[in-house]
Structure 1
């Protein structure tokens, strides 16, 4: 069991999480989707629970017998040379257990080691150690990772293939409570569907951070939202779609209540003003009247009217406590269309073959993209999708063939946009990449949902989702022919994904993207579908048919 009590987290004086309290039982079957805007502390909360971050106020208690599992976000440099098998054996603890069992079995004449031998053997059996290699092969086959686990080194894997190994490592260990931070990022569609099915049939309690709406709908049975303002958790029953419906009804109700309150305040103000005017009129009439009885009556009447006006003002003061429902300013990206004609080619690739020194090769591939066309490239992890985008944009790793491209394009290619800009502050990054003045850069940053006091933060100090927002914001104001997007929804919050959908749909130029976010792809209009299969690029009839076939 995990029990979190009054946990508050600050970073450099800024409130990240505020008075968080909850309890989760082991193996309860509860699958919680943890949602909220970028930077509200979703990953931070998982790090606190897993013990990776111990700097907080409050109390986090984990039961002695509770096994908490979390997927590591990256593979360390000194782990890159390990084989897949060795990596999993080390990370699950199997390697240490095997070595200790072998030592103890060779020294059982020492009675002092017999008890330890029994304990170590029990741990090994609990991990199904005698079947560990079979279990690894079974999991990796389910995730569609077709690699020799003994000869393939971790450094030889693509980002998506590494993610499959990281997931397998946690699944093999078996957990009572599972913490998953963006588990579908970098995975191909078949792997996402397999993970979705695996989690639905697992009795472990789970907290899942994800911005994949279809995945959240398929897996979760409860949603926790961390609010941007208060930084507390609000709980909603059901899956993600249920949460959206309930939250919208709640917001509509709050807006109606606020509007009715404003109408009542207006009515009461008019009534109070009338009584004030009558009171003033009565006092004036009483002063001018020579009849002392009339003068007294008017004075009493005006006094009552004045008191009535004050009582109404008290009512108004209470009603004014009803605040207008707060909604966040939308994330804004303004990209200018160029004056190209639809018949012009933006990208031309003719019989190109792309490859690396390690023997990986795809092609020959021919693809001509006209101005205004929108295409998605699907394919298994490791099939070469990102490699193809790099060749299309930068002529990288081309063995033969010819590529022509417009010079007027912008890209969000995950591996190409490595973090070379991390040393820059937010305002420096926008000034440099958008070629604007400092004040113009600040306005763009504010439109990207940052505060003015955050402009001097370093790119390395913001969340991955906030970093993606900054990269997208750097595109604002540019007149371009094409947008290249490689898994653009990775790390973006749900609101940011919707904005990106609008940008892609409104853009008049060409869009070439790689994505496995089913909801995102379904919402892009006039999207043509290609898949990388058997080292060749194949055009499909309909995107939805391709998605439905995988489902």
Structure 2
């Protein structure tokens, strides 16, 4: 075990007025399973890139391990998957040149190196890879396939397994669950639970609870490290926040009382001092002493007030305040909105889902569940009126106004002003919702293409909340969305009770929000 030491770290992309980190110091152990939590756009991925040495910074980062980042680019995606894994895990790359030289001049040494290359931790390399992928419940047939034919979920598991097979490395795992269904997330959580030595960026609360033992949190004014999982961290945060809120209220009352006491003491001192003049005063020295005494008391009260104000300044700095969101729900004149009977869905000529029977009524909050590739997004597209090959009956009420949040955000670009105009939503309402979702005002002047992934998803959610609709279709709305905003959106849906059909692999969110579900 070694440590990663961060001392007085400061970093900014542009100017000193746009600091991402300023004089940040902390230390972590390299055998921890560290969950990295924080608001969207607050610097989580930036910090991982700083560890990887991608940017220049002030301060120091010292570590006795090598860092590997997930996800990473694979250049030759048409290559055989097994060969790609071997290239990634090989601690032997530095030996390859020596092996080439030995082949020409030293056959014995070449044989030794080849044996080391083939054997790793007591396993032949191929067996070791198969054993590791077995933990992730990966079909071993994919090892013989080109990498580009794998699903995104399979690619995630392949890349993580390869990285964990490397030696003396510390993994920086950035949002690994975005292409995994609920079952896949549980498998990956079990896998990570058996590992150590990583920082995991994730906003999935159940996933974090299962596989981390420490939390690294980016707060509004600092970075903190705490032992425990997400639930223990959030419980402690709520306790701290509630204490500071109550303490702040107490100090406000105390400051008010001290202000009044100082005012009275000063007033009394002035009155006593004024009473020294005139023939009726027999002992002006005594009266002057009393006036000075009252003035001294007034100054002491003022000092107490300043100290209390100083104490108050240190409170509420890291409170994550979330405003209640609103939805623009239009009542529909019919109770039944959607009805599906014996529906089958096809991708080209391949049947991907069958025997779908479903009725969606006003007020239903439908969770569409199923493994990756089971037809969830295809079903939503059919309900949106897209040209999807199908059999069976699909009834969608005439005149139904639908608000849609797509899974993909890669197409987003341009200004927020132009975006709101293009989709006919009120710009003021749209930007107000973004502010409520923790957007800083300076973000409003930037091109959307430069937003973080979580901020892009919030743009789509804000559009959906701003536009009037009878029913909402949300396809993985929480991808990349921070924990606080997830809770905020949960509370919104529970308060407004909209008619909504959604695809989401966050177990906590789905359990909290859904009134009914269908499994494809």
Q: Normalising to structure 2: TM-score of the pair?
A: 0.87
Decide which of 163, 169, 181 is 1:170's aligned counterpart: 163
Distance 1:435 1:514, change over 3 A: closer
Q: 1:476 to 1:356 in 2, by over 3 A?
A: closer
Task: Please tell me whether the aligned partners of residues 378 and 530 of structure 1 are also in contact (alpha carbons under 8 angstroms).
Answer: yes
What value does the CA root-mean-square deviation take over the aligned residues? 3.1
Match of 1:126 in 2: 120
1-structure distance, mates of 2:151, 2:424: 31
Matched, 1:305 2:303: no
SS at match of 1:54: coil
* Aligned equivalents of 1:497, 1:96: Cα separation in 2: 43
Alignment of 1:65-464 (within 5 A): 66-72=65-71, 79-93=76-90, 108-111=103-106, 118=112, 122-126=116-120, 130-132=124-126, 134-146=127-139, 148-149=141-142, 152-173=145-166, 176-202=169-195, 204-228=196-220, 230=221, 232-287=222-277, 289-322=278-311, 323=313, 324-326=315-317, 327-330=319-322, 332-341=324-333, 343-345=335-337, 347-357=338-348, 359=350, 361-405=352-396, 407-414=400-407, 417-421=408-412, 423-437=413-427, 439-464=428-453
CA distance, structure 1, for counterparts of residue 104 and residue 275 of structure 2: 115
Aligned length: 511
- Matched residue SS, 1:381: coil
**Alpha-carbon distance in structure 1 between the residues aligned to 2:11 and 2:105:** 49
**Is contact 1:5-1:58 (8 Å) kept?**
yes
Contact 2:12 2:20 in 1 (8 A): yes
CA deviation profile, 1:378-422 (whole Å, cap 9, x unmatched): 2222323222222232434314445443641122231xx44222x
Distance 1:500 1:342, change over 3 A: farther
SS of the aligned residue for 2:404 comes to: strand
Structure 2 contact 103–110 (Cα < 8 Å) conserved: no
Distance in structure 2 (CA, Å) of the matches to 1:488 and 1:435: 19
Q: Following TM superposition, by how much is the alpha carbon of 1:440 offset from its aligned partner in structure 2, in angstroms?
A: 4.6
Q: 1:256-297 deviations in whole A, cap 9, x for unaligned?
A: 33233223222222222222222222233332x314524443
- State the distance in 1 between where 2:97 and 2:276 align: 104
Partner of 1:538: none
Distance in 2 (CA, whole Å) between partners of 1:195 and 1:336 is: 38
Cα distance change of structure 1 residues 271 and 102 upon mapping to structure 2, 3 Å threshold: closer
C-alpha contact 1:353 1:399 (8 A) present in aligned 2:
yes
Gaps of 5+ in 2: none
Gapped runs of 5+ residues in structure 1?
533-551
Residue 57 of structure 2 is matched in structure 1 by: 56
Q: Which residue of 2 aligns with 1:9?
A: 11
| Cα displacement (A) at 1:206 | 1.8
In 2, Cα distance between equivalents of 1:117 and 1:430: 66
Between the aligned partners of 2:393 and 2:77, the Cα distance in structure 1 is 34
